[in-house]
Structure 1
Amino acid sequence: MQRCRLLLMLLLVCHFSAIAQQVSLQVALAGLNHDHVHLILGRYRKGEVKILGIAENDEQLIQRMKKRYQLPDNIFYKDVPSMLAKIKPDVVLAYNPIADHLAVVEACAPKGIPVMVEKPLAVSVQQAQRIAALSAQYHVPVLTNYETTWYNTNQQVQDMVNNQHAIGPIRKMIVHDGHEGPKEIGCSPDFLKWLTDPVKNGAGALMDFGCYGANLMTWLMHGKAPVAVMAVTHQIKPDVYPKVDDDATIMLEYPDATGIIEASWNWPFSIKDLEVFGKTGYLHALNMHNLVGRQKDSTYTVEVKTAQYQDNLTYLQAVLKDGFKPGNDLSSLENNIIVVRILEAARKSAKEGKRVVL
Structure 2
Amino acid sequence: MKKSLLILALLFALEVHAQDAALRVGVIGLTHTHVHWIFGSEPRGEIDIVGIVEPNKELAQRYADQYGFSMDMVFDSIEELITKTKPEAVTAFGTIYEHLGVVRAAAPKGIHVMVEKPLAVNMEHAKEMQALAEKHNIQLLTNYETTWYPTNHKAYEVLKKDGTIGEVRKVMVHDGHKGPKKIGVNSEFLDWLTDPVQNGGGAIVDFGCYGANLMTWLMDGKRPNSVTAITQQLQAENNPKVDDESIILLQYDDAVAIIQGSWNWPIGRKDMEIYGLKGTIVAHNRHDFQVRISEGYDGFEEERMTLKERSAPYDDPFAYLAAVVKNKITPEKYDLSSLENNMLVVEILDAARESAKTNKTIFLNK
Q: TM-score, normalised by structure 1?
A: 0.92
Tell me the equivalent position of 1:352. Answer: 358
1:341 has 2:341 as partner: no
Q: Work out whether residues 155 and 307 of structure 1, in 8 Å CA contact, stay in contact via their aligned partners in 2.
A: no
Structure 2: stretches of 5+ with no match in the other structure: 1-16, 296-300
Q: Tell me, in whole angstroms, the C-alpha distance in 1 between the residues paired with 2:18 and 2:109.
A: 27
Amino acid at match of 2:209: C
What displacement does 1:215 show?
0.2
Say if 2:46 and 2:318, in contact at 8 Å, map to a contact too.
Answer: no
Separation (CA, whole Å) in 2 of partners of 1:87 and 1:78:
13
1:23 to partner: Cα distance:
4.4
Structure 2: which amino acid aligns with 1:300?
Answer: E
SS of the counterpart of 1:344?
A: helix
Matches within 5 A, 1:39-118: 39-44=37-42, 49-118=47-116
Aligned with 1:225 (options 223, 226, 236): 223
How far apart, CA to CA, are the structure 2 residues paired with 1:305 and 1:67? 33
Q: Please, which of 323, 330, 352 is the counterpart of residue 328 of structure 2?
A: 323
CA contact (8 A) 2:22 2:48 kept: yes
Q: Which amino acid aligns with 1:171?
A: R
Deviates more, 1:85-94 or 1:182-191: 85-94
Contact kept, 8 Å, 1:248 with 1:262, in 2: the verdict is yes
Deviation of 1:87 (Å): 2.1
What residue in structure 1 maps to residue 127 of structure 2? Answer: 129
Q: Deviations 1:147-196 (Å, cap 9, x if unpaired)?
A: 00000000110111111111111100000000011111111111001000
RMSD across aligned C-alpha pairs, in angstroms? 1.6
Amino acid at match of 2:328: G
Change (3 A) 1:31 1:311: same
SS at match of 2:246: strand
Q: 2:142·2:342 contact (CA, 8 Å) conserved in 1?
A: yes
1:246 aligned to 2:244? yes
1:136 is paired with a residue of what secondary structure? helix
- Secondary structure of the residue that 2:156 maps to in structure 1? helix
Q: 1:80, 1:104 within 8 Å by CA — same for their partners in 2?
A: yes
* Contact 2:171/2:257 (<8 A) preserved: yes
Work out the percentage of aligned pairs sharing the same amino acid.
48
Q: Which runs of 5+ in 1 are unaligned?
A: 1-18
Q: 190-199 or 23-32: which moved more?
A: 23-32
Which of the residues 272, 281, 290 maps onto 1:292? 290
Q: How many residues align?
A: 340
**Distance in structure 2 (CA, Å) of the matches to 1:150 and 1:260:** 22
Cα displacement (A) at 1:45: 6.1
Residues 145 and 213 (structure 1 numbering): CA distance in 2 closer, same or farther, change over 3 Å? same
- Deviates further, 133-142 or 307-316: 307-316
Partners of 1:262 and 1:137 in 2: CA distance:
36
| Structure 2 Cα separation of the partners of residues 139 and 35 of structure 1 | 29
Q: Deviations over 1:194-252 (max 9, x none)?
A: 00000000000000000000000000000111111000001001011000000100000
In 2, Cα distance between the equivalents of 1:86 and 1:357? 48
Say if 2:317 is the partner of 1:312. Answer: yes
Once the two structures are superposed, residues 249-291 of structure 1 have per-residue CA deviations (whole angstroms, 9 ceiling, x without a partner) of 0000101000000010000111000110011111000000011
- Contact 1:125 1:341 (C-alpha < 8 Å) held by counterparts: yes
Kept after mapping to 1: 8 A contact 2:250/2:256: yes
